[in-house]
Amino acid sequence: MPETDEKPLGEASLTALVVASMVGSGAFVTSGYALADLKEPWLVMVAWAVGGVIALCGAKSYGLLVTALTESGGEYLFLSRLVHPAAGFLGGWVSLLAGFTGAGALAAMTFESYALSESLRPAWLPDGTLAIALVLAATLVHAFRTKAGARGQTMVVVVKLTLLAAFVVWGFWCWDAWKGGPPLPLVGDDEGTLLYRFATTVMWISLSYSGFNAAVYVASEARGGAPAVSRAMVRATAAVTVLYLLLNAIFLFGPTATEVAGKKEVAIIAAQAVAGPWFAMLARVAISIGLASSVSSVLMAGPRVYAKMAQDGLFPKMFGSDSSPPTRLVVLQGVAIAIVVLTVGLPKLLSYLGLTLSLSAAATVSTLFGLKALATRSGSEPPWGKSLAYPVVPAIYIAATLVIAAISARRQPGQATATLVTFALGFVAYLVWQRVVKNGRPTIEEA
């Protein structure tokens, strides 16, 4: 590593990366749509709690995995090494399209909508300008010095959490101004589909928790190794779960259900209802900073996955890098996000992200059972030793993810189709790369 011989990322930086990855656009827009679907604010709160428990199980499961392979690369690394290179390529493919590029573009565009409301936008300023400026700034921060980028991101996360904490404290201080009110009336066949509606809501919410595994993408650069990575994921996920529950108590019970149901800017509506315009402005600033840190986390984590793929011959060799940071890949990630911002608009097509990313994570966690089987056959302990978390915690994560995904897909088959198409295209891309584009460089199957 050219910066220093010391690994550049301490536990504080790892924790900040996880928090930055989790607290993004979904945290501030999901509850309005969830309330419109579930009708009852308390049910939405339960859905957020269920999502938090599932995410905690996922974070602990990834912590077990990283004890077996303490390298950067995330799902790509685990699936390619423990299952098959094709499975790893699909994990990297999902990360490239959905987990990093798509999610980063969504966060950047949502940042622009919060930071510069339509009433303040000058007529001469094109849509996407502020989003592109944010992507450019984050790319420059992370492209050249890992420590500097990590410190900058940690500072942004601290500011974000301070503002969100102030929002929560003042929101609860104004408890007597909360309006609450009765649930929304059921219409059509809503009474008979509660299970489907609840599962779909948890799937939406899972997107807000999906960054719980962010620290594994930079594991080889972590001081303290696997224990530090695992602690960062679990502690950050627990803290974010508590934060989400506190925030959503204000979002859902501060205004009336009618005011926020189906609305995108639920945080602004709730802040206005609880304490007036100045509180709404605080919410707008806190959310904008939170979204900026989400874009930053993508530019920090995503390139490490592609670097590992390039080292294994499954990504163009010109991007292969052992350095920290992988500068060319950081620039490539920034360009990819900017292209989506300029060409797609605020992408409704990304509504399938929760399902796609959850299934990829569940497949990754399932490799724990293969590792255990191999250890048993060889008469040795698995890499994580006699952890009390295994096998209950990964089993809960996998079962909950698959059950919720199946119920949600039955209600919204279009979402499941989009996910299947994503995986199918990834498999085709893998075959093409293996047979046409690898230019004679050995892949991990041949190395």
- pLDDT surpassing 70 at residue 309: yes
Is 379 contained in some domain?
yes
Rounded Cα distance between 20 and 88, Å, is: 25
Residues 327, 425, 312, 104: is their CA dihedral positive or negative?
Answer: positive
pLDDT for the residue numbered 228: 93
Is 1 contained in some domain?
no
Is 39 contained in some domain?
yes
Confidence of residue 447 (pLDDT cuts 50, 70, 90): very low
pLDDT for the residue numbered 396: 96
- Identify the weakest region by mean pLDDT among 102-116, 254-268, 344-358: 344-358
Rounded Cα distance between 293 and 17, Å, is: 9
- pLDDT surpassing 70 at residue 348: no
CA atoms within 13 A on the CB side of 314: 30
> What are the residues facing 9 on neighbouring strands?
222
Domain span including residue 393: 11-437
Q: Write down the mean pLDDT value for the chain.
A: 84
Q: What is the CATH number of the domain that holds 243?
A: 1.20.1740.10
pLDDT for the residue numbered 117: 73
pLDDT for the residue numbered 440: 47
Q: How far apart are the first and last CA of the chain?
A: 23
Is 447 contained in some domain?
no
Domain total for the chain? 1
Is 5 contained in some domain?
no
Average pLDDT estimate for 149-160 = 79
Rounded Cα distance between 135 and 130, Å, is: 9
pLDDT for the residue numbered 136: 94
Record the tokens describing residue 309, joined without a space. 């793929």
Is 111 contained in some domain?
yes
Is 383 contained in some domain?
yes
Residues with Cβ < 8 Å from 153, sequence gap 6 or more?
A: 13, 16, 17, 20, 141, 293, 296, 297, 300
pLDDT: which is higher, 316 or 13: 13
What's the pLDDT tens digit per position in 181-205?
667 665 555 545 788 888 888 988 8
- pLDDT surpassing 90 at residue 308: no
Is 339 contained in some domain?
yes
Alpha-carbon 266 to chain mean position: 20
